[in-house]
Structure 1
């Protein structure tokens, strides 16, 4: 590989305009394919074949009008007063216009709905009053009949005593007949009441269960309309949501604010906002400080930005065929910028060092490409493998994110080993500082690669201190990760000035936290029921659902077409991301209820809150498997590269420590709220469900990058005869400046995304920036050198049988340097141009 890259580097250097032109042509082609074939991005994250999707399919298949996705539109008076009749009429007109939007099935009228709910509750209350009055009258009539019978019996006894019974018998019998007729009529009235009583009791039960459900707040100042789409929420076209947002923005109802919920108002995050630009600017400053020239600083940025353009346009060209989650291209940009700058920097730094040693220009470019470029390829392929391994999780959107990220890294590698040599040839010795060119012109060269007195090994005491303190610090930072909960962001995590946040806050304040994430519960009955029995079963099953812990309201929706299932809307007490809501979903799914006849009823749960819970649970279950895969991959790769057993073990343990510490930092800030105001976290909540897996894959690849560039220098020094502990210090001294610059650049690029307005991008940016910070500066530059010092010669031990089996990949390019001895630069002594 090193020899091939050497030839590619020299070819690119000789034909620099052709290489530059070819990459520009690729950019144009990808731009054309993007314009021709790109589709829309989805802001919803879904997984196939989860309990939620199964219930959603049942609703769509077996229930009329319940299978489409749902969003809400919240209206409130700006002064907190009750909405007037005129304002209600204007709001209803707005909802009528939204109903006419293509893709919208229905927008419920909250005022009419609340009126029906109130009327129903009033009718039930009036029915109970009338029934009680009727029962009182029946009781009074029964008392009168009983009194008449007692009086009649008294008259009979007196007549018998007076001997006049025969004379008054006809009158007594007539009176008795009247009492019997009255009793019969009374019994008929009582039977009628008894017949109506179960219906009334069922109505009272349903009214009580749904009493917590409202579409208009109790003070009349806010209302919530449900928007029903023709298709599932993740399939709703962006054009439909945009049309709704435009109608809402143009509503202009005096004294009324209108807020679409997160399901409608979600937007695709910007790829390059102010924070991201600031990160690139910091990277440029670091490059300038390290390389000392504007050309040197600009070259990695140009190649990285061009690579990001090619990779992003190429990937998004397939968005018309494959559903892209909106965060996917942003992740590609993150990685493309970070590794693109770093990989180019590694080659440029090696080239500059060789030029200052007096190597001829094209020889230096070829050697830099064959040595540092070889390490770049190996490191980059490691990152790609870690990202592509996301496909084995069985989670489609994660696999796609990993694939897009791998494409971005692949393009960065190709840019580094082809375009970087071409531009280096074009700029020539101007890649050096002016004083460095002057020194070369005077015949002065440097030999930084030699072992010097600066490479004295550290003391054992210092090594133990660094190792112990470093591990302790990482474990302390990792401690909050023991409390990590996973979830998807809800409206509360959006920017405070966004419609989604305002809609969430109004609903939480006026209708309760659970109104932001109602659940759809389907009760599967043991058999079909008659139409007359639907209400009774709804009351029976609804009462049992209402008895489940943390339920705020239960509202019957409908019976299935064949009446073998009943659907309910269940409003939790907690928010969509609250732990109590997750427990409620699990309790409902694990509970077996009974019908009026005693048959068993099983429950299924759907809804946006349920979908988020299912996604988080599934990702939690695949995280340990993926982590084991990555750790195993790490050991295998490093054993091949460093031909050692203990070096890979220390590298992998260090990676696990830095990863856990990164998880601890993420949990502390985004879930527990520590320093939340510094990072713009106004609503702490569960950690983004797919962040741990994404962070594991990316940080593993980047950790291996720095491990390769630092430890390969140690191995090279050891292979050239330096004592093991001296080799550790030499490799650290030789590589730490470029690794420091590369890590700062990567941290800056990732940190720029922390200040994104999007609640999904923000924690990803922080997690990657913090993870790189810990791994590069704590693990790779402190813990690994200390551990390798303590191991000494044992660090490079490898069983003889394994040594014969392993291929010699020669990452540091030692054989290439021996076979292509650097040629002196004839132009080095030429006059220096400014």
Structure 2
């Protein structure tokens, strides 16, 4: 089927291009008419804080916990006390905003030059009206203060939930650098532009698909960016693999259409299998237990499927149009090479490693373990206003509140007491208990629900939300208040952090287990899949360590556009693992397919490793370099989750393509020899046989051509 698909697309390129143009236009038209909006849903049924949130929603329908809220911080830069009429007028404008159910009394700083107001909405932050118009209405309300020379900044749940606009400069630079690398790989501008054009076309359809997904489920504000990052990277890689095989067949003397058919039948199968492994890894995100992870997995999966479909159809079509222009000009002219042929560098390096595999393997292992060591000190926390760019209004509001009211004012805790059960005496006891807890500096007066069932009050910590003492404080209060619920945004974020640190092992077990099974089916081996899984875990662990040192320890925050160190975002470790494990398997399948093909043909365990690396080393290195520059382009964005993911995945790909593929793989395979391909007979009978990339067998191609000729045109 793939052989016919490639030949057909190359033989009728304009039909294929017209079909894709129609798909792109239909996708954009449909997404514009039916697509949804992106927002973050932090309702987590398994979180302990969710119990208190639901209680407040049931008994305080107009409270911030029932709907959502926004903070407005007003500050006079001259240091003069704020005028009462200006603050009162602001409160009136806030009350006039649609869905605002209450505006708190202004909280004034000690010197009176700063006021903090909280607007409470009667709908959750995911409500369509707030997603589309909520921030704009707040900006209109504070505009008169700016005109009067005052500072007015927006913080809290609603403004933080609005996604930061993407700059796009870094991504553009990444694409340009990728083009330059492709020119070096192919020696042809046409060959360089083809993979990028294919990836961008598939990504356009994928982006429209993600917008349609948002109409059916809650999709995180960061999900489209992450889907684009992964889609662009794998799209260029898939197209690069197909174009490389197509060029190989052209050099072997095949016609353009036949080369396209063979490339799609061989490399195309690797693309299908590689995309399947990525999708399996992404589906593991559902085991994290948070709705936001499901949206990450589905959105990225849509992008991967779209670029995979584009690669399998558009590459042969464009190759059919380009004909022999994919070859360097010197080859098209039939000129002799400038220098005598010699073994590729990767083959010579593999031979060097194979002669002394143990020292190389130990050196690579120690290097990766050293990089991974900081992971033991990794501390995670969901992003908040403090992690936003210094010039954003949410960061300005966060800093103003911390400076004028104390760091804990940015993250108060809410205590919900069942008044029906404990009575007023129990409520008073709970207030005294919280007030006497170390780390609490202020407690508000309890508010009784309209039905008298609950009493609710807030407690302000002495430190900010990202402080490492936060989780301990929440746990201590819950232990000391058995008849109350400690809830609110801060405890919910603490619960999410704890949940994700526990669920990551479930995700790892699922992704590794399924991937090992798939590789065992393909390569008919036990040791090869297990070894691949261990090596992937090593490279990902090393990337975690570098991420911890750079962001949490602050070793290179300035280079990444951050003005202070910060914890690793709670969303990053699981998301990064799932994506990276799938991407690493791409390279593993491509490399091991060639090694196994050579092993089956020659029976030479060590030589097959050298020849396999020689055949794939340049393409793998080029694909990895392209993916690295694409990921680093996204690391230039201001959104912390995207920045951390882009940087972390770039580091992991560098390590995977160098230390793992060029040192650990040849060293361990040289030491294991024939044991690489050992599989018990009983397991061989149980496992279905799957070929990631069939061998280049001329008999097979002759049979396919004969079958194609015998098939009526209408049935093709």
Identify the TM-score tier after normalising by the shorter chain. Answer: over 0.9
* In structure 1, C-alpha distance between the alignment counterparts of 2:703 and 2:249, rounded to whole Å: 8
- Change in CA separation of 1:459 and 1:744 when aligned onto 2, cut-off 3 Å: closer
Match of 2:379 in 1: 485
Q: Choose 694-703 or 245-254, whichever is displaced more.
A: 245-254
* Contact 2:389-2:562 at 8 Å conserved across structures: no
Match of 2:464 in 1: 575
- Change in CA separation of 1:334 and 1:460 when aligned onto 2, cut-off 3 Å: closer
Q: 1:588-737, aligned counterparts within 5 Å?
A: 588-592=477-481, 602-737=483-618
Match of 2:95 in 1: 99
Match of 1:372 in 2: 267
1:516 is aligned, of 410, 418, 440, to 410
* Contact 2:635-2:644 at 8 Å conserved across structures: yes
* In structure 2, C-alpha distance between the alignment counterparts of 1:803 and 1:96, rounded to whole Å: 75
Match of 1:219 in 2: 111
Residues 66-102 of structure 1, C-alpha deviations (whole Å, 9 max, x = no match):
223222111111123332x3xx322321231122111
Give me the TM-score of the superposition, normalised by structure 2: 0.93
Q: Shift of the alpha carbon at 1:406?
A: 1.1
Give me the TM-score of the superposition, normalised by structure 1: 0.80
2:310 is aligned, of 412, 415, 421, to 415
* In structure 1, C-alpha distance between the alignment counterparts of 2:517 and 2:586, rounded to whole Å: 15
Task: Give the secondary-structure state (helix, strand or coil) at the position aligned to 1:48.
Answer: coil
Residues 620-639 of structure 1, C-alpha deviations (whole Å, 9 max, x = no match):
22100110111111211111
Residues 380-415 of structure 1, C-alpha deviations (whole Å, 9 max, x = no match):
111111112222333222112111111111111111
* Contact 1:360-1:822 at 8 Å conserved across structures: no
* In structure 2, C-alpha distance between the alignment counterparts of 1:552 and 1:634, rounded to whole Å: 51
Match of 2:159 in 1: 265
Q: Does 1:228 align with 2:120?
A: yes
* In structure 1, C-alpha distance between the alignment counterparts of 2:164 and 2:411, rounded to whole Å: 23
5+ long unaligned stretches in structure 2: 706-716
* In structure 1, C-alpha distance between the alignment counterparts of 2:242 and 2:530, rounded to whole Å: 28
Residues 98-127 of structure 1, C-alpha deviations (whole Å, 9 max, x = no match):
2211121222241xxxxxxxxxxxxxxxxx
Q: Does 1:238 align with 2:119?
A: no
Match of 1:55 in 2: 52
Q: Choose 417-426 or 62-71, whichever is displaced more.
A: 62-71
Aligned length: 699
5+ long unaligned stretches in structure 1: 111-214, 593-600, 825-834
* In structure 1, C-alpha distance between the alignment counterparts of 2:590 and 2:353, rounded to whole Å: 24
Q: Shift of the alpha carbon at 1:759?
A: 1.9
Task: Give the secondary-structure state (helix, strand or coil) at the position aligned to 2:575.
Answer: helix
Task: Give the secondary-structure state (helix, strand or coil) at the position aligned to 2:558.
Answer: coil
Residues 179-229 of structure 1, C-alpha deviations (whole Å, 9 max, x = no match):
xxxxxxxxxxxxxxxxxxxxxxxxxxxxxxxxxxxx211111211111111
Match of 1:406 in 2: 301
* In structure 2, C-alpha distance between the alignment counterparts of 1:646 and 1:456, rounded to whole Å: 20
* Contact 2:242-2:263 at 8 Å conserved across structures: yes
* Contact 2:81-2:114 at 8 Å conserved across structures: yes
* In structure 2, C-alpha distance between the alignment counterparts of 1:90 and 1:387, rounded to whole Å: 51
Residues 418-474 of structure 1, C-alpha deviations (whole Å, 9 max, x = no match):
11101100111111111111128x999x99999999598336663222211111111
Q: Highest CA radius of gyration, 1 or 2? A: 1
- Change in CA separation of 1:792 and 1:758 when aligned onto 2, cut-off 3 Å: same
- Change in CA separation of 1:270 and 1:419 when aligned onto 2, cut-off 3 Å: farther
Residues 126-165 of structure 1, C-alpha deviations (whole Å, 9 max, x = no match):
xxxxxxxxxxxxxxxxxxxxxxxxxxxxxxxxxxxxxxxx
Q: 1:421-460, aligned counterparts within 5 Å?
A: 421-439=316-334, 457-458=351-352
Q: Shift of the alpha carbon at 1:687?
A: 1.4
* In structure 2, C-alpha distance between the alignment counterparts of 1:286 and 1:451, rounded to whole Å: 18
Match of 2:5 in 1: 8
Task: Give the secondary-structure state (helix, strand or coil) at the position aligned to 1:688.
Answer: coil
Q: Does 1:783 align with 2:675?
A: no
Q: Choose 814-823 or 333-342, whichever is displaced more.
A: 814-823
Match of 1:252 in 2: 146
Task: Give the secondary-structure state (helix, strand or coil) at the position aligned to 1:379.
Answer: helix
* In structure 2, C-alpha distance between the alignment counterparts of 1:469 and 1:379, rounded to whole Å: 29
Residues 669-695 of structure 1, C-alpha deviations (whole Å, 9 max, x = no match):
222212111122323222111211111
Q: Choose 240-249 or 492-501, whichever is displaced more.
A: 240-249
Match of 1:527 in 2: 421
* In structure 2, C-alpha distance between the alignment counterparts of 1:82 and 1:451, rounded to whole Å: 72
CA RMSD across the alignment: 2.5
* In structure 2, C-alpha distance between the alignment counterparts of 1:615 and 1:233, rounded to whole Å: 18
* Contact 2:344-2:614 at 8 Å conserved across structures: no
- Change in CA separation of 1:454 and 1:762 when aligned onto 2, cut-off 3 Å: closer
* In structure 2, C-alpha distance between the alignment counterparts of 1:96 and 1:383, rounded to whole Å: 52
* Contact 1:538-1:556 at 8 Å conserved across structures: no
Q: Shift of the alpha carbon at 1:354?
A: 1.6
* Contact 1:387-1:402 at 8 Å conserved across structures: yes
- Change in CA separation of 1:272 and 1:380 when aligned onto 2, cut-off 3 Å: farther
* Contact 1:456-1:726 at 8 Å conserved across structures: no
Q: Shift of the alpha carbon at 1:697?
A: 1.0
Q: 1:378-397, aligned counterparts within 5 Å?
A: 378-397=273-292
Match of 1:81 in 2: 80
Match of 2:433 in 1: 544
Q: 1:119-518, aligned counterparts within 5 Å?
A: 215-235=107-127, 236-249=130-143, 251-266=145-160, 267-270=162-165, 273-439=168-334, 457-458=351-352, 462-518=356-412
Residues 597-656 of structure 1, C-alpha deviations (whole Å, 9 max, x = no match):
xxxx61212222122112222222210011011111121111111111111121111011
Match of 2:14 in 1: 17
2:448 is aligned, of 521, 536, 559, to 559
* In structure 1, C-alpha distance between the alignment counterparts of 2:464 and 2:345, rounded to whole Å: 62
* In structure 1, C-alpha distance between the alignment counterparts of 2:598 and 2:95, rounded to whole Å: 73
* Contact 1:45-1:234 at 8 Å conserved across structures: no
Q: Shift of the alpha carbon at 1:722?
A: 5.0
* In structure 1, C-alpha distance between the alignment counterparts of 2:337 and 2:9, rounded to whole Å: 28
Q: Choose 700-709 or 641-650, whichever is displaced more.
A: 641-650
- Change in CA separation of 1:520 and 1:454 when aligned onto 2, cut-off 3 Å: closer
* Contact 1:9-1:418 at 8 Å conserved across structures: yes
Task: Give the secondary-structure state (helix, strand or coil) at the position aligned to 1:56.
Answer: helix
Task: Give the secondary-structure state (helix, strand or coil) at the position aligned to 1:687.
Answer: coil
